[in-house]
């Protein structure tokens, strides 16, 4: 287990706020730009960065993230490149996570991936299509290298499932706010709060809510009941709306500022 993530959540808690976690795919819109954009997010006060590993078949993602990872793949963002991006982020000021579908990790080599990620300064991995039942070798490898394994709970998860999931999770639990794919929504799923409450019954781990959060107001609403707030598609949308990298950096900073303000209780 990496201590980095628990530190981040503890620090946020002692400042009476939720932790803010920002997602961006490595290689979007280019490899170098993605590094700059993520470091800008860290400057603006994001507590943890989720580096997306682009995958050809992102079946849990909506249109915004599909667009971004498609572009990242066409610019040659391989697993090696993603690990390199991880190493170029300012890990002293934020925890660094990777978000990856399972096949690229399996193909890279489960043990090898955990080892290389640790060497690059990564602290944990979110695996949206891996559940603990299929994660035997992954749990062994990540433990050996001090990498946190973040699994998801969903509104449809039974209490039994939640307890299975949290037993195998470290760092924090990812609570999917809604039954659906990633993407900004006008409202955060009404079931999110109930899911967080059910998950709290099963674990002392911090719980972060993702899917659909895009504004400071939504972040504020979620921060009232969760330990962390995860924002992804909204960053991609704001980057796509800008003409060039300097403008994108400004826009990302502004959104991260707004969200960082929002997570204060």
Provide the binding-site residues for another protein, judged by CB under 8 A. 55-60, 62, 66, 70, 73, 78-79, 102-108, 128-131, 133-134, 151-158, 161, 165, 176, 179-181
Nearest distance, CB of residue 10 and another protein, angstroms:
26
Question: Whose Cβ is closer to another protein: residue 102's or residue 225's?
Answer: 102
Structural element, H or E, at residue 129? none
Cα separation of 142 and 118, whole Å? Answer: 9
Q: In the chain, which ranges are E strands?
A: 19-25, 48-52, 95-99, 124-126, 148-150, 152-153, 173-176, 207-210, 228-231
Question: Whose Cβ is closer to another protein: residue 105's or residue 222's?
Answer: 105
Question: Whose Cβ is closer to another protein: residue 39's or residue 127's?
Answer: 127
Question: CB burial class (10 A; 0-12, 13-18, 19+) of residue 190?
Answer: exposed
Cis bond leading into 173, ω under 30°?
Answer: no
Report the 10 Å Cβ neighbour count for 203. 17
Among the listed residues 43, 47, 57, 61, the single catalytic one is 61
Among the listed residues 36, 47, 50, 221, the single catalytic one is 50
Nearest distance, CB of residue 16 and another protein, angstroms:
30
Nearest distance, CB of residue 211 and another protein, angstroms:
10
**50 part of the active site:** yes
Q: Give buried/exposed letters for 135-149 (b at 16+ CB in 10 A, else e).
A: beebeebbeebbbbb
Question: Whose Cβ is closer to another protein: residue 28's or residue 252's?
Answer: 28
Question: Whose Cβ is closer to another protein: residue 109's or residue 246's?
Answer: 109
**32 part of the active site:** no
Please state the length of the chain.
265
- Cβ(206)–Cβ(19) under 8 Å? yes
Active-site residue numbers?
50, 61
């Amino acid at each position: 287990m990496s201590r980095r993530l628990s530190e981040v959540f503890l620090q946020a808690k002692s400042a009476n706020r939720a932790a803010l976690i920002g997602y961006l795919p490595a290689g979007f819109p280019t490899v170098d730009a993605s590094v700059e954009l993520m470091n800008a997010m860290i400057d603006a006060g994001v507590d943890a960065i989720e580096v997306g590993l682009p995958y050809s078949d992102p079946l849990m993602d909506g249109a915004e993230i599909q667009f971004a990872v498609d572009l990242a793949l066409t610019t040659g963002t391989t697993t090696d490149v993603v690990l390199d991006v991880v190493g170029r982020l300012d890990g002293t000021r934020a925890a660094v996570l990777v978000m990856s579908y399972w096949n690229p990790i399996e193909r890279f080599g489960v043990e090898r991936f955990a080892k290389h990620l640790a060497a690059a300064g990564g602290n944990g991995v979110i695996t949206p299509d891996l559940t603990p039942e299929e994660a035997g070798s992954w749990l062994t490898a990540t433990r050996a290298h001090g990498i946190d394994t973040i699994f998801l709970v969903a509104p449809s998860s039974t209490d039994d499932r939640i307890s299975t999931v949290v037993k195998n999770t470290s760092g924090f639990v990812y609570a999917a706010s809604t039954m659906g794919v990633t993407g900004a929504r006008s409202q955060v799923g009404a079931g999110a709060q109930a899911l967080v409450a059910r998950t709290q019954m099963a674990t002392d781990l911090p719980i972060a809510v993702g899917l659909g959060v895009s504004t400071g107001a939504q972040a504020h609403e979620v921060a009232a009941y969760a330990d962390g707030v995860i924002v992804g598609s909204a960053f991609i949308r704001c980057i796509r709306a800008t003409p060039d990298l300097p403008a994108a950096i400004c826009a990302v900073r502004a959104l991260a500022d707004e969200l960082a303000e929002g997570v204060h209780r």
